[in-house]
Amino acid sequence: MASTRRLTTAQAILAFLKNQHVERDGKTQPFFAGMLGIFGHGNVAGIGQALQQNPDFPYIMVRNEQAAVHMAAGFAKMSNRLRTWVCTSSIGPGATNMITGAALATINRLPVLLLPGDIFARRNVAPVLQQLESSSTQDIGVNDCFKPVSRYWDRICRPEQVITALPEVMRVLTSPADTGAATLALPQDVQAEAYDFPEELFRKRVWLIRRPQPDAVSLGRAVEAIRGSRRPLIIAGGGVLYSEATEALARFAMQTGIPVAETQAGKGSLAYDHPQCAGAVGATGNSAANRLARDADLVIGLGTRYSDFTTGSMTAFQNPEVRFVNINVAEIDAYKVSAVPLVSDARVALEAMAVALPGYHVAADYAAAVAGLKVAWEQEVDRLFHLGNRPLLSQSEVIGAMWEASGPRDVLLSAAGSHPGDLHKLWRTRSPNGYHLEYGYSCMGYEIPGALGAKLADPSREVFVFLGDGTYLMMPTEIVTAVQEGIKIIIVLVDNHGFASIGGLSESLGSGGFGTRFRRRSAASGQLDGEYLPVDYEANARSLGAYTLKANDLGQLKAALEKAKAADRTTVIVVETEREVRVPGYESWWDVAVAEVSEMPAVRQARECYEEGREKERYHL
């Protein structure tokens, strides 16, 4: 008879997870670094008990379950999806707190494993604390809300179901095309129930992260399209980094002279000073990449999913003859914009194309135009880095100071507010994964836990977090976790008294920044136009355990950055900036629908501009 091991469901899950490894390019490593979470009655006696008796599987307590998922996602992103963490929660609110994190991970295609506690499978004691009841079925609960935001979802109602569920979880998490959040809802009674599990379930397994080869006919057509083009442009997305294709891309761009524009997830695919690096493209793009995109006759989408920020809401490509070649592990992306689809790993496809294009190089006039655009753009970055705005600094000067203080391997991390747009344009990335933007979900609150995850993934790199006052207030609390675990990150907090980004957007749409300022409500107007709210961000961060510094001018900011680098713990630098001094847009458009009818003249005017802007939106059929 085959041997078995008598374990609780929770113990069996842990025993399985500890033995999962991944392999790529001949290197093998454990897939899970450990578990993050918060205990409640829905997991403390099941998963919690199993964790306690498995000290070789690290457990980190966090302050908010959403943050646990962000931490796992930040870790997975920094690890190029080759490693991640598991997240455990109690039932009810602890579980639903993870839904935002699940959506973020799935949209960014980052592997995370979520184990929300669930209501009793036995049912005889229902309704239990925090149970959602339904008059039409007993087979529903709050964890069903994870379904649309998970790439794999299952509820374990009997212990032996994990024997077939866990391999499915691993298949999805290690799939280059299908990865995202995997959710196993674990009823609290089932977590604690014992079963004789087959010993084989716990053997070491190594999951190969595949590098799919392109179809030969499609490859031939892609090569033909490149040979026939006069103004080709590569758009590098996150897939370049995840596939570790940056060196192959640098060689391919050098060999062919084809310029490379970058999406938020793809920024850092090339070092900023690589001769073919045109930098940020799209709604938050720069003047060089956006002009190249406008006139390109062939766009090669490399590991990109063509979000609206990349395509300028489908206005970025204005050449009537433009055609597309897409290289992507995910079929859904390869087929977008009617492209020649290469359903393939980015590195494999680049290497195959390099071999198939001997002697090919873009024409000298195009190469010269690329070089000229690049020089002009770098001058604009220098201008914005040294704007000299007084009395308050501009945000671009803060970015300049951070860039000058950072080293070539350091990591810049951000997610929401005006920061992603400014950074996409201005940050001069010098090494792969040196630019870490969560811009699939652009989730305020990702920054601090995401940075803790990134730092855990590679402790040898300094992580600079750039965030706003609004974002800080949404989730400052993982600073406590940073102190608990002795993890050091540097947080630069920009205080501009509210939502400069959405406020600016609101103003441009005729709504005057309504509801976006951190000011007292004044009795006279009934609006938020009284004095600034007296939030002391420095005192707040210090109270959570951070080392804090305040910078009132450029000299103080530079000194604070040096002190932060020398510090041995998480440091928060607070710097007040001028809200109204913004980094402009560069020949780009983003579709945000304006009210078609309004009592307000400013809105009617904004609607006219909006309709004009929309005229450039194209289908690529």
Ligand X SMILES: Cc1ncc(C[n+]2csc(CCOP(=O)(O)OP(=O)(O)O)c2C)c(N)n1
Residue 418 interacting partner from Mg ion, ligand X, none (CB closer than 5 to 8 Å by kind):
ligand X
Nearest distance, CB of residue 312 and ligand X, angstroms: 19
Residues 621, 619: Cα–Cα separation, whole Å = 6
CA atoms within 13 A on the CB side of 263: 28
Distance in angstroms (rounded) separating the CA atoms of residues 141 and 121: 11
Binding at 444: pick from ligand X, Mg ion, none (beta carbon under 5-8 Å per type): ligand X
Q: Which stretch binds ligand X (CB under 6 A): 321-329, 332-340, 382-390, 469-477?
A: 469-477
Report the amino acid identity of residue 543: S
Give the x-and-dash track for 428-447 against ligand X (CB under 6 A): --------------xxxx--
- Closest approach of ligand X to the CB of residue 445, in Å: 6
Q: Toward ligand X, which CB reaches closer, 119 or 594? A: 594
CB of 500 to Mg ion, least distance (A): 5
Nearer to ligand X, 349 or 500 (CB): 500
Amino acid identity of 179?
T
**Residue 410 binds to Mg ion (criterion: CB under 5 A):** no
Partner touching 278 among ligand X, Mg ion, none, CB below 5 to 8 Å by kind = none
Verify binding: residue 513, ligand X, rule CB under 6 A: no
Check: CB of residue 163 under 8 Å from CB of residue 2.
Answer: no
Q: Which residue has the closest beta carbon to ligand X?
A: 468
Q: Quote the least distance from Cβ 99 to ligand X, whole Å.
A: 12
Which phi and psi angles does 128 have, rounded to 5°?
A: -90, 165
Element (H, E) at 166: helix 161-173
Say how many CA atoms lie within 13 Å of 43 toward its Cβ: 29
Question: If residue 152 lies in a helix (H) or strand (E), which one and from where to where?
Answer: strand 152-155
* Selection from 495, 248, 201, 484 nearest residue 349 by Cα: 248
DSSP secondary structure of 268-289: TSS-TTSTTEEEE-STT--HHH
> Does 576 participate in binding Mg ion (rule CB under 5 A)?
no
How many residues lie near ligand X (CB under 6 A)?
A: 18
Residue in 366, 499, 537, 610 binding ligand X, rule: CB under 6 A? 499
Question: Which segment (7-15, 29-37, 360-368, 461-469) binds ligand X by CB under 6 A?
Answer: 461-469
State the Cα–Cα distance between residues 286 and 394, nearest whole angstrom: 18
Sign of CA pseudo-dihedral 161, 162, 164, 169: positive
Overall size of the chain counted in residues? 621
Q: Are strands 59-61 and 277-280 parallel, antiparallel or unpaired?
A: unpaired
Nearest distance from C-beta of residue 517 to Mg ion, angstroms:
10
Q: Which parts of 457-486 interact with Mg ion (CB under 5 A)?
A: 468-470
Please identify which residue in 84, 96, 471, 548 interacts with ligand X, judged by CB under 6 A. Answer: 471
Choose from Mg ion, ligand X, none: what does 347 bind? Cβ within 5-8 Å by kind. none
d(CA 528, CA 563): 36
- Our finding on whether 500 is near ligand X (CB under 6 A) is yes
Q: Specify the stretch interacting with ligand X by CB under 6 A; choose among 42-50, 350-358, 416-424, 568-576.
A: 416-424
- The stretch among 358-366, 400-408, 411-419, 613-621 that binds ligand X (CB under 6 A) is 411-419
Q: Give the whole-angstrom CA distance, residue 227 versus residue 616.
A: 28
Cβ-based nearer residue to ligand X, 346 or 493? 493
Residues 470/447, Cβ–Cβ less than 8 Å: no
- Whichever of 65 and 154 has its CB closer to ligand X, that residue is 65
Which spans in 308-440 are helix H? Answer: 308-311, 331-334, 346-356, 364-385, 395-405, 419-426
**From 92, 238, 470, 476, residue interacting with ligand X (rule: CB under 6 A):** 470
**Cis status, amide bond into 449, omega within 30 of 0:** no
32, 41, 316 from 332: Cα distances, Å: 28, 41, 21
Give the type of residue at 186: L
Q: Which residues of 338-358 are buried (b: 16+ CB within 10 A; e: fewer)?
A: ebbbbbbbbbbbbebbeeebe
Tell me which of 287, 313, 418, 481 binds ligand X, using CB under 6 A. Answer: 418
Token pair for 571: 């440091």
- Least distance to ligand X from the beta carbon of 503, Å? 7
Please report how close the Cβ of residue 422 comes to Mg ion at its closest, in angstroms.
Answer: 12
**Least Cβ distance, residue 520 to Mg ion (angstroms):** 17
Residue 90: name its binding partner from Mg ion, ligand X, none (Cβ under 5 to 8 Å by kind): none
d(CA 106, CA 84): 13
Cβ of residue 499: shortest distance to Mg ion, in angstroms? Answer: 6
Under the criterion CB under 6 A, does residue 417 sit at the interface with ligand X? yes
With a CB cutoff of 8 Å and minimum separation 6, the contacts of 242 are: 80, 81, 109, 176, 303
Q: How far is the CB of 422 from ligand X (least distance, A)?
A: 8
The residue range among 88-96, 242-250, 361-369, 465-473 that interacts with ligand X, by the rule CB under 6 A, is 465-473
Q: What is d(CA 369, CA 41) in angstroms, rounded to the nearest whole number?
A: 64
Residue choice 469, 544, 561, 594 for contact with ligand X (CB under 6 A) = 469
Among ligand X, Mg ion, none, partner that 442 touches (CB below 5 to 8 angstroms by kind): ligand X
Collapsed DSSP state (helix, strand, coil) of residue 51: helix
Q: Contacting ligand X (CB under 6 A), which of 156, 416, 448, 574?
A: 416
Residue of 496, 506, 511, 516 that binds Mg ion (CB under 5 A): 496
Query: Applying CB under 6 A, which residues contact ligand X?
Result: 416-419, 442-445, 467-471, 496, 499-502
Query: Applying CB under 5 A, which residues contact Mg ion?
Result: 468-470, 496, 500
